[in-house]
């Protein structure tokens, strides 16, 4: 009795395995297992746009996080806050300095020179923030009040968002315009107002070769 059960079970398993193998062997070999991917040019273009947007927002967020240190009241004792801010500035813990050091090296290096991101202004203190002709055109558009702008040229995709002056910017860049910057006296104040659009964070991503 036991031998009959074992033989029956073995026969069932053999038939099942044979049917499975037959289905594989007899199935059309040309049938695709998954949908065909989109054209690579479309995929690359979408990827470049997403990368540019991500880079811009990362730089904006980095600047905002560092800027928070200049907005905090560290002590009610008069003069202590300015001493703290001078210490931050002396050690180059500034929104622009930190963001520029990170993004001017990391982004081109990580993308094999395909991409860069920077804060573009008309008269930059830092040469890194000097934009090319396309970036300067986008800066003009940003200053009209648009929330974002982009440009696709024969060489690269550009994406930009505005950067606005905060209270943290005003000690060095605020009023009165033309007066020496108290932390960096080799520069002069720009006359910025809190909330004013003072530049654009622009990312440029070239296509893969």
Find the mean pLDDT for residues 183-193. 91
**209, pLDDT greater than 80:** no
* Separation CA 121–CA 173 (nearest Å): 13
**106, pLDDT greater than 60:** yes
Find the mean pLDDT for residues 13-23. 42
The pLDDT > 70 percentage for the chain reads 67
CB atoms within 10 A of CB 72: 10
Ramachandran area for residue 105 (φ above 0: left; ψ -120 to 50: alpha; else beta) = alpha
Q: What pLDDT shows up at residue 191?
A: 95
Find the mean pLDDT for residues 62-82. 71
User: Which distant-in-sequence residues (6+ apart) come within 8 Å of 179 by Cβ?
Assistant: 188, 189
Find the mean pLDDT for residues 94-117. 85
Instruction: Work out the angle at residue 181's Cα, subtended by the Cα atoms of residues 175 and 184, and round it to the nearest 5 degrees.
Output: 160
Q: C-alpha distances in angstroms, 20 versus 10, 12, 32?
A: 15, 12, 19
Q: What pLDDT shows up at residue 116?
A: 95
Q: What pLDDT shows up at residue 38?
A: 38
Domain regions of the chain by residue span: 40-205
Q: Is 15 exposed, middle or buried (0-12, 13-18, 19+ CB in 10 A)?
A: exposed
Q: Which of 158, 152, 163, 145 is nearest to 200 (CA)?
A: 163
Find the mean pLDDT for residues 157-161. 96
User: Which distant-in-sequence residues (6+ apart) come within 8 Å of 203 by Cβ?
Assistant: 51, 52, 53, 55, 56, 115, 116, 117, 158, 159, 160
SS3 204: strand
Residue-averaged pLDDT of the chain: 77
pLDDT class of 14 with cuts at 50, 70, 90: very low
* Separation CA 142–CA 201 (nearest Å): 10
Q: What is the pLDDT of residues 24-40, one digit of tens each?
A: 334 444 334 333 433 33
Q: What pLDDT shows up at residue 66?
A: 77
* Separation CA 135–CA 201 (nearest Å): 9
């Amino acid at each position: 009795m036991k031998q009959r059960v074992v033989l029956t079970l073995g026969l069932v398993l053999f038939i099942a395995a044979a049917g499975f193998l037959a289905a594989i062997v007899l199935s059309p070999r040309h049938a695709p297992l998954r949908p065909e991917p989109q054209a690579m040019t479309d995929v690359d273009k979408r990827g470049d746009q997403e990368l540019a947007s991500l880079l811009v927002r990362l730089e904006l967020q980095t600047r905002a996080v560092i800027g928070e240190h200049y907005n905090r009241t560290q002590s009610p004792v008069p003069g202590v806050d300015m001493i703290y801010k001078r210490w931050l500035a002396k050690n180059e813990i500034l929104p622009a300095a930190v963001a520029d050091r990170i993004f001017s090296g990391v982004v081109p290096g990580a993308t094999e020179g395909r991409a860069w991101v920077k804060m573009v202004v008309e008269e930059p203190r830092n040469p890194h923030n000097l934009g090319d002709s396309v970036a300067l055109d986008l800066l003009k558009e940003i200053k009209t009040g648009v929330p974002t702008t982009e440009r696709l040229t024969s060489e690269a995709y550009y994406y930009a968002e505005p950067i606005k002056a905060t209270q943290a910017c005003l000690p060095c860049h605020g009023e009165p315009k033309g007066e020496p910057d108290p932390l960096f006296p080799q520069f002069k104040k720009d006359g910025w107002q809190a909330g004013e659009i003072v530049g654009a964070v622009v990312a440029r991503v070239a296509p893969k070769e």
